[in-house]
Amino acid sequence: MNLAYDYPVLGAFWTVMWIFLWVLWIVLLFRIIGDVFRDDTLGGAGKTGWLVFVVLLPFLGAFVYVLARGKGMGDRELRHTQARQQAFDDYIRETAGSGAAPGNAADQLATLAEVRSRGDITDAEFQRAKEKILH
């Protein structure tokens, strides 16, 4: 029967270290495979070659890939992140600026009427702004 005190602290440390390195290795392989698919400069044959190399000889394939194309990995990740952020920003601007909420036009007209009643804009300006809101 094995008890907890039969497993030394150094043994537990090495077990945790190997698990950590194994997870780190898996993450690196997924990053490499994702980078291969994300790269627009590689053709189909190049992507297939790198994938076969990384899958069949994972240690050598990963090390060679990082040495050969490691600098570009960061650049491609940065461009991908910036493109996703730009798409998200465009979506937010389009959604927020569309005036899709039904009460939005009524609120704008109420504010516009209040500004006209204070005398800050003329009747002609009020009519132009009203037409702009309603169309």
Write down the H helix ranges in the chain.
9-38, 44-56, 58-97, 102-118, 123-134
User: 82 falls in which pLDDT band (50, 70, 90)?
Assistant: very high
Sign of the Cα torsion 43, 49, 52, 55 reads negative
Domain extents for the chain? 4-70, 103-135
Q: Are 30 and 55 in contact (CB under 8 A)?
A: no
Q: Are 85 and 70 in contact (CB under 8 A)?
A: no
pTM across the whole model = 0.57
Q: Are 67 and 81 in contact (CB under 8 A)?
A: no
Tell whether the model's pLDDT for residue 15 goes beyond 80: yes
Tell whether the model's pLDDT for residue 41 goes beyond 90: no
Which among 69, 11, 16 has a CA at the least distance from the CA of 61?
69
State the chain's mean pLDDT as an integer: 86
Tens of pLDDT, residue by residue over 97-131, are 655 455 677 888 888 888 889 888 888 888 888 88
User: 26 falls in which pLDDT band (50, 70, 90)?
Assistant: very high
Tell whether the model's pLDDT for residue 96 goes beyond 90: no
